[in-house]
Structure 1
Amino acid sequence: MEENGGGQQLVAAENGGGHDGAREATCLSMKMDDGSRESHRYYLSRRTALEMLKDRGYTIPSSEIQLSLSEFRETHGQKPDVDRLRFSATHSADPSKRVLVIFCGPGVVKVTSIRNIAGQIVNKDTLSGVLLIVENNITGQALKAINLFSFKVEIFQITDLLVNITKHVLKPKHQVLTDRQKKNLLKKFNIEEKQLPRMLQSDAIARYYGLQRGQVVKVTFSSGEITQLHVTYRCVW
């Protein structure tokens, strides 16, 4: 679904606005400063995780996001303890939704690691999801153990969070539509959900916003080379 200029038309579109996040993340992680590379990586990934949850509607204090690298190091040191980095957040519109962010160490994540994490989680009944930030591979047995949890577990590599992809200069603006907005969109163009261009759940933007199948995203492209905005809609598949 696209809107371009004064007219509107339904067309098939592929997911655009790609980014070279891995290369940029590597550059950032290797950036030289007065402190350790380790603390810098944890600082960047933690900040992105905070921004990500705020964009999902969770209550995140601005002071946490605006924390400087030096302030982070004053609190956590040059070799941060991953257990002290974990934090939880409650959804602003639905207080029953609580998510926990857990950082894993640099080693391979094994089934014993998952069992240890499960044993440390308190108030599991009030938990709706966990974001697991890892630095290494996860064994097959560990993945099976994660699937046994009663809540949703999202796994991110720390290198994926060194840069907030939604702030990338080449990335178009994404807006997640509400159910009502989606209904109005389909009615406006007299189409069905399956006729919308698709975005895979594995897409970086879909993962950032934690999107589920059937949700629709409005994508707005802007460029100095054109005079008008270009808008398209994609349905998560």
Structure 2
Amino acid sequence: MASFEYAESMCRIRKNVLEMLSDRGYVVQESDVLGYEQFKQKFGDSFNRDELSIKACKAKDPEAQIYVFFPDDVRIGVTHIKKYIDRMKSENATRAILVVQQNLTPMAKRSIQEVSQAYHMEVFQEAELLVNINKHSLVPEHQVLTNEEKKKLLERYTLKETQLPRIQHADPIAKYHGLERGQVVKIIRESETAGRYVTYRYCI
């Protein structure tokens, strides 16, 4: 039976993942975002993490699907990665998020890299998702530009993308929004003088 603290943490993590998917443009029903009592009613007092899996599609492109897996095993190796890739193949999903309890084995990381051209798999530690950093008062609004929006921005200011200020691929807010290398994010900050102050960052 899962302890109260463990179940409460997993409820919070799953809720934050759903909010993250919504912020990325995936369809998330309000009824899917569960409070602790609802979480207990749906998954019971005794559950394994695999039962918490999520599947969602983009609001603007229903064919663009993503899976979120919560591996039950603490140590994740190549066998686990292959299992999840096979599930993605069977469901025609090309993106996935793994919410893990500890770092992957080096072989598992290599396995993800080997299939990265066809399947994009992100890895989050549980601790990274206990709090929704996008809701923090010190974190400004971030909007990921489409390729067309990025092109128009660079043309407007006669810039090369590498001339923009940079944001690291591993930056927590970049991870939250699923930023990929080469993408540009628009950052909107509140300003006492200008009302809103807009900057852009190029993901490296």
* Candidates 49, 63, 66, aligned match of 2:17: 49
Range 155-164 or range 101-110, more displaced: 101-110
Q: How much has 1:123 moved relative to structure 2? A: 4.3
- Is 1:189–2:157 an aligned residue pair? yes
Match of 1:113 in 2: 80
Choose which of 106, 129, 134 in structure 1 pairs with 2:95: 129
Q: Does 1:232 align with 2:194?
A: no
Paired residues for 1:199-210 under 5 Å: 199-210=167-178
1:145 match: 111
Unaligned stretches of 5+ residues in structure 1? 1-34
The residue correspondences of 1:9-158 to structure 2 (distance < 5 A) are: 36-65=4-33, 67-105=34-72, 107-118=74-85, 121=87, 123-124=89-90, 126-149=92-115, 150-158=118-126
Q: Which moved more, 1:79-88 or 1:108-117?
A: 108-117
Over 3 Å counting, the alpha-carbon distance change for 1:191 and 1:42 in structure 2 is same
Q: Which runs of 4+ in 1 moved over 6 A?
A: none
| Alignment length (residue pairs) | 199
- Distance in 1, matches of 2:88 and 2:159, equals 46
Question: Quick one: which amino acid aligns to residue 139 of structure 1?
Answer: T
| Structure of higher RCO (CA pairs closer than 8 Å, 6+ residues apart) | 1
User: SS of 2:40's equivalent?
Assistant: helix
What are the ranges of 5 or more consecutive residues in structure 2 without an aligned counterpart?
A: none
**Cα 1:142–1:181, aligned 2, differ >3 Å: closer, same or farther?**
closer
Amino acid at match of 1:194: T
> How far apart, in 1, do the equivalents of 2:122 and 2:48 lie?
21
| Aligned counterparts of 2:83 and 2:151: Cα–Cα separation in 1 | 44
> Which has the higher Rg, Structure 1 or Structure 2?
1
Q: Which residue of 1 aligns with 2:188?
A: 220
Separation in 2 of the partners of 1:152 and 1:55?
18
Distance in 2 separating the partners of 1:194 and 1:122: 34
SS in 1 for 2:179: coil
TM-score, normalized by length of structure 1?
0.76
CA distance in 2, matches of 1:75, 1:109: 26
Contact 1:100–1:130 (Cα < 8 Å) also in 2: yes
Q: Is the 8 A contact 2:69 2:97 kept in 1?
A: yes
Deviations 1:52-80 (A, max 9, x none): 11111111112112x21111012113343
Amino acid in structure 2 at the alignment position of 1:168: H
Do the aligned partners of residues 177 and 146 (structure 1) sit closer, same or farther apart at CA in structure 2, a change above 3 Å counting? closer
Q: % of aligned pairs identical?
A: 37
Question: How far apart, in 2, do the equivalents of 1:155 and 1:220 lie?
Answer: 27
1:171 aligned to 2:139? Answer: yes
Q: Give the aligned residue type for 1:59.
A: V
